[in-house]
A and B are shown apart, each in its own frame.
Chain A
Amino acid sequence: MTARRVNDWLEQELLDDWHVIADLESMEVGIDRRTKLFGVDLVATVFATSEIRVERPDTGRSVASQKKYGFLWASLGSPDRDVVEISEAREVDRHLVTGGSIAVNVSGLRLVENFLDMGHFPFIHTDYLGVEPHTEVPPYSVEISSDDELWTRDCRFFQPVASPTAKGGFMVDYVYRVIRPYTVSLYKSNPNQQERMDSIYLFVQPVDEENCVAHPYLCYLKDGIDEATVRWFMQLIFAQDKPILENQFPKRLPLDPRAETPIRADASSVFYRRWLRSHKINYGAITAAG
């Protein structure tokens, strides 16, 4: 039996791109890790020599793989660009840690969209990233950069506990950036050095169209905080989102502009869906009519 060719149904941009498939810290030498990427079974192995192999059982062939930022990356196609460049990863005064990969039963595109949304902070992340009555999302700007990334700037939100080191609530500045269809990052004011930003990258592994794994990468200033606490806070917040995400319906992201009714605070979501349409991304989405 011949395996179905992935690029018969997967957009070339996704096929040829790099995707995180595991946190290396959670893998053990010689023990196979089974996972899926775009519905394709993969078996990843780390050898004692620290070499890696990622194999497709359906074809018996290896796929492109590499280690970077503490993650194992794979591509089902022929990568024509490298893994996302993270400039903060060169700054020595930052913790650079994987946040703890968590599987979520929803399309990865829904995960990216939720990551961009500030409106839910007071209701889902109550007493941490928001609190009633501070529910207003002030207007912010959204633009597509010259290198075709989606940037959301001038975001401000009142947060009671913006970060594990925050001592009391303050207006936090945010910048969001959609780098690739399944990759998004945010930059937010550090509570101790408010002129500098902590950043979080979310690499979303599309397991299939309705399942994904969130692989967060955290770049926090070391000032007054240890690694375990950085991870603690990320998982605390993410696990609050998880049941909400898993109860979204439909599980795939509708791209038709008439499918859901946005308000002004949803501008980043509207732009993200439009940007996905312009990239002709349909994997994990419900395609726009016409």
Chain B
Amino acid sequence: MITLYDYELSGNCYKLRLFMSMLDIEYEVIAVDFYPGKEHKSEWFLEINPLGQLPVLEDNGFVLRDAQAILIYLASKYDAGGKWYPTDQPQTLGDISQWLAFADSITSTSSAARLHDGLFYDFDIEACRAGAHRLFRIFDEHLWFAEKQNRNWICPGDHPTIADIACFPYVILSEEGGISRQDYPAIRRWTDRVKRIPGFVVMSGVFPAGPAFKAAG
């Protein structure tokens, strides 16, 4: 059985809830009182992850930290079709890794802005927002050119990869950090497509796709 050490409002934890739902994997949750209890810095949790960060996943005694690492593990082990992380395609794997790192940059800008605005973190808010806009501009262009080649997803191929999952949460939650997506139409179309992947689930602050899905599907 898989156990997820989870905090509801964390976009990095949401990545894993989202992906496990899409893969239809059963798991149990241990709610960690991240805020205001700072339980991720408590003695018992530091024994599990000395970095004091969420999420952490445990699968039959195997313990793994870092959302991106966990996505790789879950895809490699549980995606029988090998589509989310195609281990036989070196270029795609390189591409995915590049965008997983990009997702971390989104976390350190867009997520930081959200923590500043909502939960009083002492960050340089203007720097966080400017950094997020710079990334979103690059991301929007990338997705626009992909669309011109009839691609729906971040990496080449006709199936989404874990790069789409890794980038989604702190893009879709950006407005909670005062970062509008109005100027990024290709990003907005991409978020709608992610919301229509079978098994998609929301978290607080994320809304499901409109009813067009049902009508079309």
Chain A contacts to B: CB under 8 angstroms: 23, 25-26, 33, 35, 98, 100-105, 227-229, 231-232, 235-240, 242-243, 246
Count B-side interface residues using an 8 Å CB cutoff: 20
30 inter-chain pairs at a CB distance below 8 angstroms, sorted by A residue, are: A23-B36, A26-B35, A26-B36, A100-B35, A100-B36, A101-B119, A102-B119, A103-B118, A103-B120, A104-B118, A227-B33, A228-B31, A228-B32, A231-B33, A231-B36, A235-B8, A235-B35, A236-B204, A237-B204, A239-B8, A239-B204, A239-B205, A240-B204, A242-B118, A242-B176, A242-B204, A242-B205, A243-B175, A246-B175, A246-B176
Q: Of the candidates B8, B118, B120, B175, which one forms a contact with A232 in the assembled complex, judged by CB atoms under 8 Å apart?
A: B8
- Total inter-chain residue pairs, C-beta < 8 Å: 63
Provide the main secondary structure of the chain B interface: loop
**Apart from the given pairs A26-B35, A235-B9, 18 other A-B contacts in the complex at a CB distance below 8 Å:** A25-B38, A101-B120, A103-B117, A103-B119, A104-B118, A105-B117, A231-B33, A232-B8, A235-B35, A235-B204, A236-B8, A236-B204, A239-B8, A239-B9, A239-B203, A242-B176, A243-B205, A246-B175
CB neighbours of A227 from chain B (8 A): 33, 37
CB neighbours of A33 from chain B (8 A): 120
Q: How far is the CA of A52 from the CA of B120 in the complex (A)?
A: 19
- Smallest CB gap from A23: residue in B: B36
CB neighbours of A35 from chain B (8 A): 120
Chain B contacts to A: CB under 8 angstroms: 8-9, 31-33, 35-39, 117-120, 175-176, 203-205, 207
Q: How far is the CA of A126 from the CA of B217 in the complex (A)?
A: 22
Q: How far is the CA of A35 from the CA of B118 in the complex (A)?
A: 13
- Smallest CB gap from A164: residue in B: B31
